Structures are given as structure tokens and as C-alpha cells.
Amino acid sequence: MGRLFSLSPCSFLIRISIFACLQVIVVVNGGTTNLTPPSFTPINHDLYHSSGNLMEEIKGLVHRHPNKLTMDTIKAGNKGYGAEISVVTYSRERRERDERSKFRILLSFGQHGRELITTELALRILSILSEEKFLPNIDPASLNSTLDKLVIKVVPMENLNGRKLVEAGDLCERRNGRGVDLNRNWSVDWGKKEKDYDPYEENPGTAPFSEPETQMMRKLAISFDPHVWLNVHSGMEALFMPYDHKNTTPDGLPSHQMKLLLEEVNHLHCQKRCMIGSGGGSVGYLAHGTATDYMYDIVRVPMAFTFEIYGDGTASSKDCFKMFNPTDLSTFNRVLNEWSAAFFTIFKLGPYQLGEINSKMSVSNLDKWVSIDDYLNGYLMERRNRYGKKMEVLELGMQEIRTYFRLFLLSSVLLMFMFCSRISKGKSTRQIVSAIPL
């Protein structure tokens, strides 16, 4: 107190004024004395790879294990926007002719840029498949016996452009490089908007498959024709099956078998804390135009899932890194260990569950209808791999056929128009002649 009254009158008045202003600020803010802006959790670079480093790690795995892993890079673009995805294929024999006879699994990670933990899980799973890392309490001989029967395609980072935006500082960005949510850009129930629609979170694009990323994923899915599709996200802990766009699950035995498999995963690896059911019936909102609904309804993948592997419900809605990703080493390792084991349970039990479906329903491949455009786009896609860029010869032929077909349609329309015009003129002439008095 002595120092306060030893000040000059002017200094004393200035300090009293500042103190009074601070009191007003406190009252206006409802009694809050914290005048600093809220802090947001940055990316923990001690735990998480950058997108470039992560893909380099995966390329290193492929290079070191060519007898098990191969890697293709697919590129696409439209209207000045380009994108690419890398696809890692695991097969112990690496004979392409055997691919159709094996149980096929397609995994996608990093569809939303802000969900970094999902891409780390992709790296961990590939490390285990290449036997550079190991799962505890699993017999290697039993694991190898399971993996011998599988072909697994892994997309480690579906949304590379969106991920780069996150790494540049937009930690809440989930969309791709031009602001479209890739998990709303598929054709099943596309474009429908709920009352709480937020374009920042759910922009579906200008049309189904308007985005190069979803175009490439669609082609990959149709050409590979997987038995299991698994789309990996974070934000909560959940094991979802179709549907996302309505509050129901599919009818019949396939739905029952999917649910049994998810219940087993929940019991073994989630300690029964994970939510199970349809995405639309469990999350609290409906999602339209999602990849999993397309895979199940259109591609007819027998088992289509969305896994949510982590979420911090205590985080602020604006603290996105903390909300969607573990921030400490212990939780980071726990998530990767538990969910890696969960995936290998899917690898082991998936073929058995599908065998149960097929033995009771005798599902024929003829029942798996897709449009001819989807079929052709799936099998005739441009690829870039370690052997260099190559264009399928058949694709060039199909482009010619499509061109001639369009010309045929155009000429047919023109001929029809000319024919109708001639008939119309003929009728007019007859009417004029009949109107002339004889």
C-alpha cells in the first residue's frame, strides 16, 4: 500500500483508471478473470509423422519387403484440381492371378484430414504385415496361416490435400483441398441436408463423385471387388455398419453376421465400450452420401464397416487436434496396439463369417449389379506404379467405342428430326392442296 500512495497524482489516477477498466471487463465477462485467449493443442510432432514422412516410411516398408508388399499411386483431376492416392497391396504370394481366389479386404485411412491417428494406424498395420512389428500374444504360425488366404489393399491417406491444410495450421479441416467432405461425395442418398447442416463439416460437392479422390476410390473398389470394406475415422470409439443415411441396419443374415463380428471385436479389443450399430442410428445424426453406404448398396461388399478409433469428449469443439487425436505417448500407443489387434481379428474372423453367409444364402456374383460406367471405370483406370506410367490398351479402345456411340446417338437424333420435319412438310402440303377449290 505504501508504494501506491507514494506515486504522483497523475500516475495514481492512471492506475486507478486501468484498474476500473479491468473490473468492467470482468463484470462483462460474467466474473471471468482469465483475459488470455483460449489455447489450442498443436500437432505433437514427437508422436505424429508429417504426411510426407509417413508416406516415405511406407515406401521404405514396400522397398524392404517386395515379396509381400507392392505400392501403386493413382492420380486424377478435374477443373484445375488434382489429387493422388497411394494404394499398398499385401499378398504373401504376389501372384495377381490368385487375387480373385483369395479373401479380399479394402482399408481406407485419413479420409478426413484432421484425423491424424488413423494414418498412424495404417502405418502400424503395414509394419505388422511386413513383420517389422509384432502383435503381442498372437502365435506367428497361426497369423501366417490366416494371412496366406488374404489380399489386403490399404489406402494409408485418402485425403492427402486436406491433410496438408491441417499441417499448415487449419487443425479443424476435414474436407479435401477444395472444401468438399469426401465422406459426403458418394452417390447413395447424396446431397440431402439435415436441419443442422454445416457446409464446413459436410459440404457434399457439386455432384456425386465430383472429387478426384472419390472417383479414384470408387474405381479401386469396383475393380478389387472386396469382401470387407473398412473406413477408419476418429472422433469417438465406435464400430459402425450400414446405414449412415437412415436409422436402420440392413435386413437378413448378412446384417446379423456383421453385427456378430463387431460384437466380438468390441468384446476382445474395446472392452465393450465401443458403440455398435448403424452409423445413422448411433451417432445422433444422419449422414448422406457416405462411402460405407455406397460400398454396401452399390458395390455389394458383403461386410462394410466404419470404425471410429479414438475421441476425447472433454476437448473443446475448437480444439480439434485434441478432440480427434491422442496427445500423450501412453494413449497414442494404447490406441495403436488395441486397434491393430482389432484389425487382425477382422482378418481372421471375416472369412469365417462370410463363409457362413455364403453357405446359407449361396450368393452369386451375378447378383452384384453395378452400372456399366462404374464397371468400366473400375477396370480401366490409369495407374502410376514403380514400373512407370502405363495406360491400359483396352481403355483407349473403350474411349473410341464411347466416342462412336455418342456420334451414333447424335446422328440418329438428327435423322429423326429430319424425318419428322419431312413428314410435317408433307402434311402441310396436302392440307394446302386440299384447301384449294377445284
Of the candidates 80, 102, 82, the residue with the CA atom closest to the CA atom of residue 92 = 102
How many CA atoms are closer than 13 Å to the CA of 402, on its beta-carbon side?
A: 10
Query: What's the longest Cα–Cα distance across the chain?
Result: 130
228-263 burial, b if ≥16 CB within 10 A, otherwise e?
bbbbbbbbbbbbbbbbbbeeebbeeebbebbbebbe
Phi first, then psi: give them for residue 371, nearest 5 degrees: -65, 155
Contact 15, 7 (CB under 8 A): yes
The whole-angstrom separation of Cα 437 and Cα 435 is: 6
Of the candidates 117, 122, 142, 146, the residue with the CA atom closest to the CA atom of residue 133 = 122
- Among candidate residues 56, 158, 308, 338, the one labeled active-site is 308
Q: Active-site residue 308, yes or no?
A: yes
Question: 398: Cβ–Cβ under 8 A, 6 or more apart, which residues?
Answer: 376, 380
If you count them, how many residues does the chain have? 438
CA 267 vs. chain centroid, Å, equals 25
- Rg (the chain; Cα; Å): 29
The whole-angstrom separation of Cα 180 and Cα 74 is: 19
Of the candidates 276, 255, 253, the residue with the CA atom closest to the CA atom of residue 264 = 276
Instruction: Give SS3 for 312.
Output: coil
Q: Cite the active site residues.
A: 308
